[in-house]
Amino acid sequence: MHKSFPIISCLSSLIINRIMTICVRHSYNTNDYNACYRKREYLTSFEEKCIAQFLSVINNPTPKILDVGCGSGKPYDQFLLSKNCQLVGVDISKKQIELARLNAPSAKYININFLRYNTSEKFDGVIMLYSLFHVSREYHRSFLEKIYSMLNDGGKVLLNVRKEDNLLKFRHDFCGKSMFWSHYDYKTFKKILRETGFKFEFLGDEKNSGSSESHVWLLLHKKN
């Protein structure tokens, strides 16, 4: 947009990301997301199939899994714990982390912006479900690079994304509060995945299994 003014472009990305971060954190601290979307403790058959595929390619019966943007831990972390995973969840919202500690007490939860999370711990797998699109898309590459660096060799990632191009979408009434989304079109996102070093497999689009929304689920492989 500002090809001849890289400083302006950089500043506008920083400002957009800052505004999004503040809004998203506030929203998940105060909105009705859990009552609207996360009451259930079970997985849909589509979700169960995707998670089973993710676990089946991890070569460890008690894998260490990181959940990025874990929310309340319900239902995904609860399911992973029931499958003998050792779980660490990271979320920017204090309320979501408090709920997760109640819903999945044997996991370890950290209330922090994932981009600021520093650890020497390595993981066999990472899940990032319905969370990347709440981060300004200029930072999606940084998210993926960070995840890549936190994985053991051959580590796996299960994530879902939207396919359409969206520089910045705003709704004032998402579960009763304001909310932002930002994402690249699918082709650009796949290019970023390749450049980060991931191989990837398409697992399915939840729309084709009865969901009213369309999120594409992908399985990523870190090269050995």
The window from 109-117, 163-171, 178-186, 209-217 that contacts ligand SAM (CB under 6 A) reads 109-117
**Closer CB to ligand SAM, residue 93 or residue 196?**
93
* Cα–Cα nearest to 97, from 131, 127, 74, 70: 70
Residue 3: CB minimum distance to ligand SAM, A: 28
85 binds ligand SAM (CB under 6 A): no
Cα angle, residue 100 at apex, residues 51 and 173 outer, rounded to 5°:
90
Residues 35-54 within binding reach of ligand SAM (CB under 6 A): 38
Residues 52-81 within binding reach of ligand SAM (CB under 6 A): 69-71, 76
Cα–Cα distances (Å) from 53 to 40, 56, 157, in that order, read: 21, 5, 11
**Closer CB to ligand SAM, residue 8 or residue 52?**
52
Q: What token pair was written down for 168? A: 């910045």
Q: What token pair was written down for 158? A: 């299960």
Residue 75: CB minimum distance to ligand SAM, A: 8
Q: Total residues at the site for ligand SAM (CB under 6 A)?
A: 20
Residues 119-138 within binding reach of ligand SAM (CB under 6 A): 129-131, 134-135
Beta carbons within 10 angstroms of residue 87's beta carbon: 24
Of residues 78, 96, 103, 136, which one binds ligand SAM by CB under 6 A?
96
φ, ψ of residue 128 to 5 degrees: the values are -145, 90
Q: What token pair was written down for 161? A: 């994304």
With a CB cutoff of 8 Å and minimum separation 6, the contacts of 116 are: none
In the complex, the residues that contact ligand SAM under the rule CB under 6 A are 24, 28, 38, 69-71, 76, 90-93, 96, 113-115, 129-131, 134-135
